[in-house]
Structure 1
Amino acid sequence: MMEVEVGHHSVLLIHCEGKYSAIGNQCTHYGAPLSKGIISGNRVRCPWHGACFNVHTGDLEEFPGMDCLPCHKVKIENSKVYVSVQKKTLKQEKRLKSMGAAIPGVNHIVLLLGGGAASLICAETLRQENFGGKIIMVTRDDLLPYDKTRLSKVMNVENDSILLRRMEFFHQYDIEMWLKKEALSVDTDKKTVSFDDGSVQNYDQLLISTGCRAKGLNVPGMKLENVMMLETPEDARKIHAACLGCNVVLVGTSFVGMEVASYFIDKASSVTVIGSSELPYQNTLGPEIGKFTMMMLSEKDVKFYMNDNVTEVKGVNGKVKEVVLKSGKVIPADVFIVGIGIIPNSEFLLGSKIRMDSKNFVTVDKYMQTNVPGVFCGGDVVKFPLAMAQDRLVNIGHWQMAQAHGRIVALNMLDKTTELNSVPFYWTVLLGKTIRYTGYGEGYTEIVMKGTFEDMKFLALYIKNDEVKAAAGLNYDPAVSAVAERLVAGKVITKKEAQSDDLSWLQLS
């Protein structure tokens, strides 16, 4: 594949399976150049965040993109390839897949609880597959579905800039949006859901994708002013405003915690991070990348207190003043941000017939269906069988995975039996640098490293049973996408291959 210019417009020209095709070159997610991505079979995978497109049609085949690519005419004459682009598509970098709307007289009701990625993609897929019934999406937010991945990266975010679809879109395709409304209980026998405003809605099929909320800290002082948690765009703006020029203390060394710490380096007067493990991301990305992250942030004067816990938050005049640690250390704080994990929003299912595990995550099969026929679940609130991990039940709170869930739910609601086969792909941004991750590396026994931390360019390959199970990379594109493609295809990457100096299989440009 190669990038070509057609009328000052970047087009991706592809020769694949004996034929030529031309599609837009900019990924519809964040505009990455697809010519720098990975081609595999008849699809191209974005080098940045792993979205996939069909090279012949431009259709989206894997998230986190939302839209398809424009497709252009190609003809061959006298051994020359001619690409022609219609003037009206010249300025269009993305294309909405054709969607139907409600059909009068079709009384089937699909009810979607939650206004996140899984619900939105489920609604869109239903309409793309010409479902003509009623679709109702209900969220306790006061906002239309938005890009949640941005909240910890650009905290002074305007609501309008992160909406995934505008209100006109929902009107045009007959997707009813009910905002500021919360489900209180589900009766699967009567097929009804009761809401906090006293209303009751019946359904024929139900998707539960109510997500998770931030876990609070059980210590004295949590009611003080300026103790904050990040869940909504409004939270992000409040945290941004409260932290400017102040002493900020953060507890939690997960992706969100590290992103928020990184964001405030040049905005707060001091940033302190408290973690209960020895290193950040210890169980996910491993100690090497944890150490590297700590070093990166420490060089920018972020202080770390690891292997420690908060025992009390002290205040003056009702406002945070100090954070006390188990080790006895006392840290001055004007703002205290808690990011220690999540709790599933599933309390309203207690007492229903829908099965949950001991931590109240809803369990499903590979069709994303719960133990109750016609009731599906997706997104952060679900535990699902991951194909690449021998169908082990996992909970993965990534944006791309929630979108994939939504699509699989929609297809199975329509009796187009489809199993979930997506491979997890996510990214985290620190000091303007993006670490990408793919696969499921839990329980890995060793890491093979390519590149070096000193050069700010590395690829970590996570090995278990002599096979690569996951990869994380910085400035090593499109290696992580190449690993994702191999994992999706079920092709084993051996430890020997990972250790070899021959990296041609990674298609590095």
Structure 2
Amino acid sequence: MTTDYTEAAVCHIDDLHDGQLKEVRVGDTDVLLARVDGQYYALYPKCSHYGAPLAKGVLHGHRLVCPWHNACFDATTGHRLEAPALNGLPMHEVRIEGDQVLVRLTTDAQSRTNPLAAPQAHSTETYVIVGAGGAGAFAAEALREGGFTGRIVMLTQSPNQPYDRPNCSKDYLQGKAPAEWMPLREPDFYKQYGIEIRTETPVKRLDAATKEIELQSGETIRYDKALICTGGAPNHLPVPGAGLRHVFTLRSLTDSSQLRLLGQQGKRVVIVGSSFIGLEAAMSLRKLGAEVAVVGREAVPFAKVLGEKIGRLVQGWHEKAGIRFHLGREVRQFDGTGEVSAVVLDNGESLPADVVLLGLGVKPRTDFLENVPRADDGGVLTDEYLQLADGLYAAGDIAHFPTPDGPVRIEHWKVAGQQGHVAGLNMARPDAPEPYRMAPFFWTNQQGKRINYVGHAEQFDQIIYDGDPETDDSFLAFYGVDGIVKAAASLGRDTDIAIIRELLQSGQLPDPQTIQAGVDWPALLAKVTPQA
């Protein structure tokens, strides 16, 4: 008798406890084994986002968290629960024979979508998504995941369908990621699920009172529900010479492509702004062979977010790579005839420049909204379900969402994607809305070293270190405000920082005194009731 499947005994029934993970081998295939509530589950072992080894992640109840970028999956179904992963994980069959756990391979696919509803031509409802970034991409799929079968229209002024924007300052800018890697989905995917993406279609106004959207072309679209996720417009520098050619911002795939073309071997590039994006771009352009200088107002990069000790550490990484810093300085003007040739600082120093990149942050892109109150910074205020008016929702960089500390607006890819996912589900399922309560997370790649950050602390009065950033290859840093830990950062402590986010999200993060005394993070997580 022959079989058309591969099956193997992978462990003893008592080898794993609830919350444990183990990578095993079935034939020539690696499989992730997980134990949840006394049951074994077998899954594809790599994250569907960037291929991180999930065995090094965290299993908390049914929540399987990626160690690199904190994507989250349901270990019992394989479904994707949180951005930045779009796809879920394939499952394999598991059975118990005697005291052995056996796994039978059932698929060789690397990823799969969550179940999505098919569009129905007879539906008369139209849901519009304004913006095609991470929030818009996740929202469109969440509408179908939530069971919406009507018309979905995505409007974007970009020439591109949704793509992997964080890569624009990293591997793509370095020339290591080809253009075909950048789209989040193939065009056929959007056609299959009836998601109509209209590129190069700027919106002139959206009237929340009449539920009408007027395009720059003059066309008007009436919506039943809409999501605003237009992101941010890069800040410019109002100094003489700002309009010269080759003065760039980095917000889009087009921007990254232009910089990659111009910032080649021997070119002189000046980065204005020591932001995360600015220094990621400095790293990438230096890897292309450009001579790179960074101008920043701060005395130490990232001091306001990560503290001076970590900021100096990161600065040192870049300096070892040959990047020069001019800190505590401002730009007085750009010199050049037609094209930029120099950046003049407030101390009179002139930096030669073939290319200038402005990394000065963004402001919410909301000037087209009518009958929608705006916050002082131009963002919009949502409720806990990310709704801001009847039938109107917001997600991503423009959204101030409620937290116990008051409304907060966060400009991070994972946050935007997960907000889009929650908003899309709530639009599709108004009778069973889901509040947005995810602990914020972002990552940054600085000279090949990934720093992960969870939580949110606009200011802090205490930093607690587990490990010394000045001497150790890995560490944790906790940021306290009035005796409460609000955020944490890590280098080389991926599993611990994923656990910390689970604890923060559950409201179970220890106080500063407990953290200072030392914490066994896996043991602490095992005592915390998982989220439903």
Scaled by the length of structure 2, what TM-score is found? 0.91
Equivalent position to 2:291, from 270, 278, 295: 270
Query: C-alpha separation between the residues in 1 aligned to 2:449 and 2:283?
Result: 10
* 1:206-250 alpha-carbon deviations (Å, 9 max, x no partner): 111111121110000112121111122121121122121111111
Amino acid at match of 2:412: H
Contact 2:23/2:45 (<8 A) preserved: yes
Match of 2:406 in 1: 392
Aligned to 1:274, what secondary structure does the other structure show? strand
Match of 1:185 in 2: 205
Counterparts of 1:149-168 in structure 2 under 5 Å? 149-154=166-171, 155=173, 156=175, 158-168=178-188
Equivalent position to 2:377, from 359, 362, 367: 359
Amino acid at match of 1:161: W
Query: C-alpha separation between the residues in 1 aligned to 2:320 and 2:311?
Result: 14
Match of 1:408 in 2: 422
Counterparts of 1:122-161 in structure 2 under 5 Å? 122-154=139-171, 155=173, 156=175, 158-161=178-181
Match of 1:116 in 2: 133
Q: Percent identity?
A: 34
Q: Indicate whether 1:202 and 2:222 are aligned.
A: yes
Match of 2:364 in 1: 344
Query: C-alpha separation between the residues in 1 aligned to 2:263 and 2:135?
Result: 32
Distance 1:80 1:418, change over 3 A: same
Contact 2:499/2:521 (<8 A) preserved: no
Match of 2:8 in 1: none
Amino acid at match of 2:410: I
Equivalent position to 2:70, from 50, 57, 62: 50
Amino acid at match of 1:167: P
Amino acid at match of 1:381: I
Contact 1:219/1:311 (<8 A) preserved: yes
Match of 1:481 in 2: 498
* 1:239-284 alpha-carbon deviations (Å, 9 max, x no partner): 1221211111111111100101111223344211111111111221
Match of 2:235 in 1: 215
| 1:141 positional shift | 0.7
**Regions of 4+ moved over 6 Å:** none
* 1:394-434 alpha-carbon deviations (Å, 9 max, x no partner): 11111111111112212221212110011111111111111
Q: Indicate whether 1:427 and 2:448 are aligned.
A: no
Distance 1:284 1:207, change over 3 A: same
Query: C-alpha separation between the residues in 1 aligned to 2:329 and 2:401?
Result: 33
| 1:189 positional shift | 2.9
Query: C-alpha separation between the residues in 1 aligned to 2:30 and 2:474?
Result: 28
Amino acid at match of 1:277: E
* 1:48-93 alpha-carbon deviations (Å, 9 max, x no partner): 100111111111112111111111111111100001112xx12x12
Match of 2:87 in 1: 67
Match of 1:310 in 2: 331
Counterparts of 1:452-463 in structure 2 under 5 Å? 452-453=468-469, 454-463=471-480
For structure 1, list consecutive stretches of 5 or more residues without a partner in the other structure. none
Query: C-alpha separation between the residues in 2 aligned to 1:311 and 1:506?
Result: 54
* 1:335-374 alpha-carbon deviations (Å, 9 max, x no partner): 111111112211111xx1111112211111111011x211
Query: C-alpha separation between the residues in 1 aligned to 2:130 and 2:197?
Result: 11
Amino acid at match of 1:304: F
Counterparts of 1:93-108 in structure 2 under 5 Å? 93-108=110-125
Amino acid at match of 1:311: R
Match of 1:328 in 2: 348
Q: Greater shift after overlay, 457-466 or 172-181? A: 457-466
Aligned to 2:55, what secondary structure does the other structure show? helix
Query: C-alpha separation between the residues in 2 aligned to 1:419 and 1:63?
Result: 16
Amino acid at match of 2:343: V
Query: C-alpha separation between the residues in 2 aligned to 1:260 and 1:105?
Result: 48
Amino acid at match of 1:419: P
Aligned to 2:306, what secondary structure does the other structure show? coil
Counterparts of 1:34-45 in structure 2 under 5 Å? 34-45=54-65
Aligned to 2:503, what secondary structure does the other structure show? helix
Query: C-alpha separation between the residues in 2 aligned to 1:397 and 1:62?
Result: 17
Aligned to 1:367, what secondary structure does the other structure show? coil
Contact 2:126/2:223 (<8 A) preserved: yes
Equivalent position to 1:287, from 299, 308, 320: 308
Scaled by the length of structure 1, what TM-score is found? 0.95
Contact 1:479/1:506 (<8 A) preserved: no
Query: C-alpha separation between the residues in 2 aligned to 1:491 and 1:41?
Result: 15
Query: C-alpha separation between the residues in 2 aligned to 1:171 and 1:269?
Result: 41
For structure 2, list consecutive stretches of 5 or more residues without a partner in the other structure. 1-20, 526-532
Equivalent position to 1:447, from 463, 476, 481: 463
Distance 1:137 1:266, change over 3 A: closer
Contact 1:467/1:492 (<8 A) preserved: no
* 1:171-222 alpha-carbon deviations (Å, 9 max, x no partner): 1001111110011012223211000111110100011111112111000011
* 1:358-395 alpha-carbon deviations (Å, 9 max, x no partner): 2211111111011x211111111221113xxx152111
Query: C-alpha separation between the residues in 1 aligned to 2:43 and 2:482?
Result: 40
Cα RMSD after superposing both structures: 1.6
Query: C-alpha separation between the residues in 1 aligned to 2:499 and 2:509?
Result: 13
* 1:13-71 alpha-carbon deviations (Å, 9 max, x no partner): 11221111111111111111111011111211111100111111111112111111111
Distance 1:202 1:269, change over 3 A: closer
| 1:506 positional shift | 7.4
Amino acid at match of 2:315: M
Contact 2:500/2:521 (<8 A) preserved: no
Contact 1:248/1:268 (<8 A) preserved: no
